[in-house]
Chains A and B, each alone.
Chain A
């Protein structure tokens, strides 16, 4: 079955880049997602990538996928205090269970 791992905390200075990492275990055709949860709110989808892609960019966000190592990263350029949130990595398998499996979430703290 799927298993998604991510570190629990990341602290960065405002203006720096943040890189949040995630590893997944399933080797099938897979969708990989990044969600953001601001304090007191539900999760919002930031972006997703299919496992036949290496990279996806959307404004300040860059997703990189290393299929060989089953490693996914989310890079936030020019990190702002408003980016402080919990970031969840998730995976769903094409042709298998379509229910996403979530990681435990990485709390990003941005210092002024």
Chain B
């Protein structure tokens, strides 16, 4: 069974702390994504990556950075966590290379971050 695994389901951090959210996929997918999900706002794309060491900003990149040193791993970094970053963070991956087919995303279970 194909999987996207997010290492932490629940985290509680303090304002100003550096936070790492890790995501690993075992499907040899090219693309990986980080979304945040907030009630009433749906999913908003933070960053995505279409290849190792490549990254692209999504709709709300401010306050976040990412790292993709290996194909299977995509990390989301909050350099200095703030209370407005309290949210559910969803990682996803997909195979599509923009060649015209459907781009089906496989999601992890999510990481719920609370910043106090």
Contact = CB atoms under 8 A, between A and B. Distances in A.
Given A41-B109, A43-B107, A99-B48, A31 B43 contact: no
By DSSP majority rule, is chain B's interface helix, strand, loop, or mixed? loop
Which of B100, B102, B106 has the largest number of chain A CB atoms within 10 A?
Answer: B102
Contacts of A104: 40-42
A77 interface: no
Contacts of B4: 42
A99 B45 contact: yes
Interface stretch (A54-62, A67-75, A88-96): A88-96
A102 B42 contact: yes
A15 interface: no
A: interface residue count bin:
20 to 34
Contacts of B107: 35, 42-44
A33 B102 CA distance: 9
Interface residues of B, number: 25
A42 B90 contact: yes
A100 B103 contact: yes
A102 B100 CA distance: 18
Contacts of A31: 102-103
A50 B102 CA distance: 8
Contacts of B110: 40-42
Nearest to B107: A42
B7 to A, nearest CB: 14
Contacts of A40: 109-110
A48 to B, nearest CB: 5
Contacts of A50: 102
Contact of A92 (B48, B102, B106): B102
Contacts of B106: 45
5 contacts: A41-B109, A43-B105, A98-B97, A99-B33, A100-B105
Interface of A: 8, 31, 33, 35, 40-45, 48, 50, 88, 92, 94-95, 98-100, 102-105
Closest 4 CB pairs of A and B: A42-B107, A104-B42, A98-B98, A102-B43
